[in-house]
Amino acid sequence: MDKNLEFYFTKLQQNKTQRTFEQVYKLSSVRLFGVILRILKRKELSEDCLQEVYIKIWNRIDTYNATRANMMTWMSTIARNHAIDYVRKHQLPIQDDFELSAIKDNQVHFLDNLEANDANKQLTDCLGQLKDNSRNVVFMAYFNGLTYDNIAKAVGSPVSTVKTWVARSLPILKKCLEGSHV
């Protein structure tokens, strides 16, 4: 996990300041936006929903428990649940590749399972070795299933740059994972 995010998240728990919150936002917003965009499918709605998610994070930061989930998992779960609630509340049409009925409120989110065993913990550690931009686009592509075009729009970079970040990241991940015999 990103050490800077961990530092600012812990600092935010201890003392809520706007500056610290801005750092947490800066370091986590791309990932959370990807989670929301995967569900809502519309950039404008996802941007609005993301702002609401950060209000929830601000208001609930005191309820975070590091023994139950890592901070990114906790924030991603809030984002996912809020996006699902948004779909239900606004009765938005569901895309063919997203089946709302398959999602249950008590369902454990993918990220919760990511750290469930040593192999997945190693994957998380290997992802942590990537630069922020590279990690974010790999996460959005492989964990959220976004296309390069959607990722490029989400991060505000050209598609060619996104492809380059992914192409450079995969050999690093492969080497890291092979070194750990996963």
In a shared domain, residues 144 and 81: no
H-only helix segments in 63-158:
71-90, 110-114, 118-128, 132-138, 148-155
Q: Which of 76, 101, 126 is the last residue of a domain?
A: 101
> 10 Å Cβ neighbour count for 75?
27
Which residue, among 31, 40, 26, 159, has the nearest Cα to 91 in the 3D structure?
Answer: 40
Domain tally, the chain? 2
Q: Same structural domain for residues 7 and 41?
A: yes
Give 15-65 pLDDT, tens digit per residue: 999 999 999 999 999 989 988 888 888 888 999 999 999 999 999 998 988
Residue pair 69/112 in contact by the 8 Å Cβ criterion:
yes
Residue 106: pLDDT band (50, 70, 90) is very low
Condensed to tens digits (0 to 9), the pLDDT of residues 115-157 reads 444 555 677 778 778 887 888 888 778 777 778 888 888 888 8
